[in-house]
Amino acid sequence: MYIRKHGKKWQCHVRFKGMRIAESFTLRSSAVKWGNKTMTQLEEGSFKNRDKLFSMKLRDLLKLYVDRYKSKYRSNSFEYAIRVINRTNIGACHLAHLDGVRLSNFRDLMLQTRSTSTVRKYLLLISRAINIGTKELGIPFDHNPVTMVSLPTEPAHRDRVLSDHETFNLYESCDASNLFSMRSIVELAIETLCRRGELLNLSYKDCDLTSGEALVRETKSGKPRKIGLSTRAIEIIKNLPRTVDGKLFNVKSVSSFEKQFSSVVRKAGILDFHFHDLRHTGATLLAMKGWTTIELMQQGGWNSAEMVARYANIGAKHLAKRLRAGK
């Protein structure tokens, strides 16, 4: 081991059985401390080669993570999240320099244009990639830097459901727009309880209009599920024009679609309403028709009765009506 001054930095060089390792420090004492520690680790066989941390960037790690788990995360939203992260400075950051300060700056930047739940998902995605990198890819992280960052507070669960009047206005706004198939997408979202990604990836070949069943392949959990198709849903699908790729809808960009949907909602005069709230609306309508929790779980792809309760928001007026009817 030897130490030398190079400019304003102190360099410590360690050689061990043909291996050469070097680090730079502001203080000579820090260089000595690191050199002694490194020599001890080399002799004990516990030294971790940190070259990968300096040669790999976060976007490289995320690509490895996606390649390894792309069969599990098949939704467009997962790939979109990766693209968003990689377009920021954090994506070009070397893993050795990934720390709480840079991650908190990334968090604050994202919160300017995205919801707290979305930013939480981005940070947790980075965290999972780092954990996999440490455990399975041999990347010697000393710790997961995401644990040094305060995650945005999880928002309260939404219970937004369209009223009959709002539903009418939304359909009118869809019809008045020049956005092809928008009304069909909105209606099918309510009729099927499908998530946005599930619906936009649904294919004709997976819809059996005779039996009234459909196979949803692109699910949030990665596990395909079968759903029922209502009479209205079958009618909508029958009237849709055929697309080149076989999907029900020719939507190429999720972000563009979201902007178009937001425009339709705004012109309908509806406040505080997201596409995912159509799922709440559909679940509530089915619950009011008397669907059981098990039936709703299968149709909506929920794993617990608790999740169903979050989505099916039956109002007091309906409960009072049931009581008056003696049901």
Does the residue 182 lie in any domain? yes
Q: Are 177 and 94 members of one domain?
A: no
Residue 123, domain CATH: 1.10.150
The residue from 97, 121, 148 where one domain ends is 148
Does the residue 100 lie in any domain? yes
Q: Are 15 and 121 members of one domain?
A: no
CA–CA gap between residue 66 and residue 176 (Å, rounded): 41
Q: Are 242 and 276 members of one domain?
A: yes
Q: Are 209 and 98 members of one domain?
A: no
Q: Are 298 and 238 members of one domain?
A: yes
For residue 57, the model assigns a pLDDT of 93
Does the residue 153 lie in any domain? no
Does the residue 159 lie in any domain? no
CA–CA gap between residue 11 and residue 8 (Å, rounded): 10
Does the residue 154 lie in any domain? no
For residue 222, the model assigns a pLDDT of 75
Nearest to 218 by CA among 312, 119, 77, 83: 77
CA–CA gap between residue 72 and residue 38 (Å, rounded): 39
For residue 183, the model assigns a pLDDT of 95
What are 325's two structure tokens? 């009817």
The residue from 83, 114, 148 where one domain ends is 148
Q: Are 37 and 61 members of one domain?
A: no
Q: Are 206 and 286 members of one domain?
A: yes
Nearest to 293 by CA among 276, 278, 312: 312
For residue 24, the model assigns a pLDDT of 86
Q: Distances from the Cα of 119 to the Cαs of 105, 122, 133, 186, 232, in angstroms?
A: 12, 5, 21, 26, 37
Does the residue 94 lie in any domain? yes
pLDDT averaged per 10 residues in sequence order, the chain, 327 residues: 88 80 87 89 73 85 82 62 91 91 94 88 93 83 91 77 94 89 95 93 94 90 89 94 90 86 95 92 91 91 83 64 59
Q: Are 183 and 304 members of one domain?
A: yes
Q: What are phi and psi of 11, to 5 degrees?
A: -105, 135
Q: Which domain holds residue 295?
A: 164-324
For residue 321, the model assigns a pLDDT of 64
| Contact status, residue 119 vs residue 106, Cβ threshold 8 Å | no
Does the residue 156 lie in any domain? no
For residue 325, the model assigns a pLDDT of 62
Q: Are 238 and 103 members of one domain?
A: no
Q: Are 211 and 250 members of one domain?
A: yes
CA–CA gap between residue 29 and residue 26 (Å, rounded): 9
Strand partners of residue 203: 247
For residue 77, the model assigns a pLDDT of 62
Does the residue 75 lie in any domain? yes
Q: Are 114 and 31 members of one domain?
A: no
Start-to-end CA span in the chain (Å) = 85
Q: Are 207 and 225 members of one domain?
A: yes
Question: In residues, how long is the chain?
Answer: 327
Q: Per the structure, how many domains does the chain have?
A: 3
For residue 326, the model assigns a pLDDT of 60
